[in-house]
Amino acid sequence: MAAVDFIFMLTRHDRTVEDAAEIADAVCDLGVTHVGFKDVGVPEPVMRDLVAAIAHRGGTTYLEVVSTSAESIARSLATGRRLGVDCVLGGTDLDAARRILGDLGNYYPFPGRPVGHPTKLEGSPALVAEHCAAAAATGCGGVDLLAYRATQADPLDLVRAARAALPGRRLIVAGSVSCEAQIAALARAGADAFTIGSAVFEGTFSPAKGSLRSQVRDILAACDRAGRLAA
């Protein structure tokens, strides 16, 4: 079994792609079982159909919140609740999440200080650990860490700090994962899952290969190798 789960994000440059449903079918055919999208790029009815299509294929659905203001985060959390996704990722307002989502067992907030769009991550390992501990104490299932978007710390230092602060909880690493070396490093540092979107659509994970299917197959193979190395 792979040490880390691959969550395929139907997104490019932090926006859901317009042909997301068609691509979801293709990646599910390849064996991807975790599929996500973001709350920008397509209207809510399209997102609703997408959730239904992924669920029909037996996949686990993820909505990642990219909003940053309190009001927009609350709207995005409410969208996730209406859509009935399996997991909501992102956001930083734990009180709003509890009020809107109720049970936080499938909620994974951002630790640190996410800023801008596409999102970057400010904050030290100590701050990330503090936010992870708060998320765990609130009942969140884990966190969604923008490790490779960090501007003030080494990405793997953030992963290790988050892992230590989240015993028994799920650590997802999101954003700018684009090569096998990063996947192996995340497995060694204790991540449970990672997301990739743009690196598939732009062909940068396996630059010598041109198809989306080839990119996804190579990521799944990298997960298997990372699992064997981390075992």
The yes-or-no verdict on residue 175 having pLDDT over 70 is yes
Q: What is the C-alpha radius of gyration for the chain, rounded to an integer number of angstroms?
A: 16
Tens digit of each residue's pLDDT (9 = 90 or more) over 142-154: 999 999 999 999 9
- Its domain, for residue 55, covers 5-230
CATH value at residue 96: 3.20.20.70
CB neighbours of residue 192 within 10 Å: 17
At position 231, the amino acid (one-letter code) is A
Residue 2's pLDDT is: 46
pTM for the model stands at 0.95
The yes-or-no verdict on residue 231 having pLDDT over 90 is no
Q: CA-CA-CA-CA torsion for 47, 49, 52, 53, nearest 10 degrees?
A: -100
**Structure tokens of 141?**
């299932």
What is d(CA 40, CA 126) in angstroms, rounded to the nearest whole number?
A: 31
Range 65-75 average pLDDT: 87
Kindly tell me the sign of the dihedral angle through the C-alpha atoms of 118, 37, 82, 41: positive
Tens digit of each residue's pLDDT (9 = 90 or more) over 76-132: 999 999 999 999 999 999 999 999 999 999 999 999 999 987 789 999 999 999 999
What is d(CA 11, CA 200) in angstroms, rounded to the nearest whole number?
A: 9
What is d(CA 152, CA 95) in angstroms, rounded to the nearest whole number?
A: 26
Range 213-224 average pLDDT: 97
The yes-or-no verdict on residue 1 having pLDDT over 60 is no
**Residue among 25, 2, 36, 3 at smallest CA distance from 196:** 36
Tally of domains in the chain: 1
Query: Can you tell me whether residue 166 is helix, strand or coil?
Result: coil
Tens digit of each residue's pLDDT (9 = 90 or more) over 179-193: 999 999 999 999 999
Tens digit of each residue's pLDDT (9 = 90 or more) over 3-50: 799 999 999 988 999 999 999 999 999 999 999 999 899 999 999 999
